[in-house]
Amino acid sequence: MRKYVIMGAQGSGKGTQSELLCRGLDLVHISVGAVFRWHVKNRTKLGARVRRLVTAGELVGDDLVEDVVRERLAQHDWNHGFVLDGFPRNRRQAEFFLESYDVDAVIHLDLPDEEVRRRVLARRLCSRCGQDYNLISRRPEVEGRCDVCGGELVTRADDTPEALDRRLADHHRTTGPVLELFRRKEHVVTVDASAGMDAVQQRVRDRLGLPPHLPPG
Ligand code: AMP
């Protein structure tokens, strides 16, 4: 069983690195943001409560996020472990997490703000199946269309320059204290996330003592 938390600013590659880590190691990628986006898209009751905040890139209330994480982890569909992405995001969430759960390591992806901006504004998402793209590093074969299902590629509603600046400021304010709390109890590895996705994945695995990353092809 392997359990990890992954942290980093938007665009630092949390989603991509989580997916690469999960593939091969048979872990489950638990993205809290993706859970909320699913609820918004499918117009659930929870979706209606969080729609405005998620669209504006603002944080959802701690009680609600904690309930979502507790319920998600209680599903126990992660026999071999999980990578938790997007949680905890502040001190209170970290205290809640540390009271109830243990992880093998916290992966902190480190990226300068300028590179965060460049990457985030190039992000696209398939409106049908949710596959991620990036016009810099992971372009679709046909412009504007998903390689997997042919759906239309759109910009995430919270990937505007204004929402991004707000999230970056939040990120800097809250990340330090969260890492500090984690360092007292857990193994924290900080990895430079500015290289390509395969190189970053290899660094993460080296630091965690995991089997090597085998890029496709
Ligand atoms: P993400 O995909 O991680 O950028 O998350 C998208 C949105 O989901 C955020 O802008 C928040 O509105 C909400 N969200 C995700 N994780 C959290 C969290 N740990 N605490 C509060 N809100 C969150």
Q: How does pLDDT run across 91-110, given as a tens digit for each residue?
A: 999 999 999 999 999 999 99
State the CB neighbour count (10 A cutoff) for residue 189: 15
Does 60 belong to an annotated binding site? yes
pLDDT digits (tens, 9 = 90+) for 129-177: 989 898 988 899 999 999 999 999 999 887 889 988 988 998 999 998 9
Instruction: Supply the residues annotated as catalytic.
Output: 14, 89, 123, 156, 167
Does 11 belong to an annotated binding site? yes
- H/E stretch holding 31: strand 28-31
Ligand 1 center to residue 12 CA distance, Å?
Answer: 15
Q: Determine, yes or no, domain membership for 121.
A: no
Q: Determine, yes or no, domain membership for 6.
A: yes
Count how many domains the chain has: 1
Q: Determine, yes or no, domain membership for 29.
A: yes
Q: Determine, yes or no, domain membership for 142.
A: no
Query: CA 150, CA 139: separation in Å to the nearest integer?
Result: 14
Does 149 belong to an annotated binding site? yes
Residue whose pair of structure tokens reads 């701690």 in the numeric block: 62
| Domain span at 52 | 2-112+190-208
Q: Determine, yes or no, domain membership for 141.
A: no
Q: Determine, yes or no, domain membership for 36.
A: yes
Q: Determine, yes or no, domain membership for 78.
A: yes
Ligand 1 center to residue 59 CA distance, Å?
Answer: 6
Q: Determine, yes or no, domain membership for 145.
A: no
The CATH number that applies at residue 194 is 3.40.50.300
Closest residue CA from atom 11 of ligand 1: 59
Q: Is residue 3 helix, strand or coil?
A: strand
Counting beta carbons within 10 angstroms of the beta carbon of residue 94, is it exposed (0 to 12), middle (13 to 18) or buried (19 or more)?
Answer: buried
Closest residue CA from atom 10 of ligand 1: 57
pLDDT digits (tens, 9 = 90+) for 45-86: 999 999 999 887 788 999 999 999 999 999 999 999 999 999
Pocket of ligand 1, beta carbon within 6 A: 10, 32-33, 36, 53-54, 57-60, 65, 86-87, 89, 93, 158
Does 22 belong to an annotated binding site? no
Closest residue CA from atom 14 of ligand 1: 33
